[in-house]
Amino acid sequence: TSHKVGYFVGSLSSTSINRLLAKALVRLAPPGLHFVEIPIKDLPLYSADYDVDYPPVARTFKQTIADCDALLFVTPEYNRSIPGGLKNAIDWASRPWGQNSFARKPSGVIGTSPGAIGTAVAQSQLRGVLCFCNSPLMNTVEAYIQFKPGLITPDGEVTDDGTKNFLSNYLVELQGFIARVLTVLPRDA
Ligand code: FNR
């Protein structure tokens, strides 16, 4: 069987190391795991005023999520939390009330930063948000990637064997987690 994983890159930076990490993950994906990016940069700032009539960009955004079997969050840590742009995207997806795009949708989190804790605090906060949004979250493997210059080439090749093996294993674990969740919570149930 094959699963479609929509991924969010939490950074809007043109030189994002988390985008590089996402590229690396797409390259390392095992057979049967297919990745598609879910862009967040064109969403306006969310307001509940939109709930009566979501704009086309937000409808498309929610439909893209609905079309995926699972989600992966690849995020930096900003000020010991997740970037505002990513939180904004999550808020859009969680609404209108009763149409939460995350409900029963399995997800994983991962991120990289130059600092030694590798986005651990941001990921911890993101887990709290996704837990509230009723997304079954992969608990293990956790992945806190410390980024060193050259770790991932511009086209997504991981230059360090240890990191490459770790990321490959992360993806195999994610694949297994998604398969187990979908067994008990089929997408269209
Ligand atoms: C940072 N950075 C950062 N790093 C970290 O490990 N913990 C933190 O709390 C923060 N806070 C923070 C706030 C803001 C506003 C910026 C711009 C940066 C550094 C951050 O890890 C680094 O800039 C990464 O390159 C960000 O990831 P992307 O955007 O390159 O994917």
**Inter-residue contact 175 to 41 (CB < 8 Å):** no
pLDDT at 187: 79
What pLDDT is recorded for position 1? 87
pLDDT cut 90: percent of the chain above it: 97
Query: Atom 22 (ligand 1): residue with closest C-alpha?
Result: 113
pTM of the model: 0.98
Any ligand 1 atom below 6 A from CB of 30: no
Ligand 1: centre distance to CA 123 (Å): 13
From the list 117, 152, 149, 118, the residue with the least C-alpha distance to 28 is 152
* pLDDT tens, position by position, 117-167: 999 999 999 999 999 999 999 999 999 999 999 999 999 999 999 999 999
pLDDT given at position 164:
98
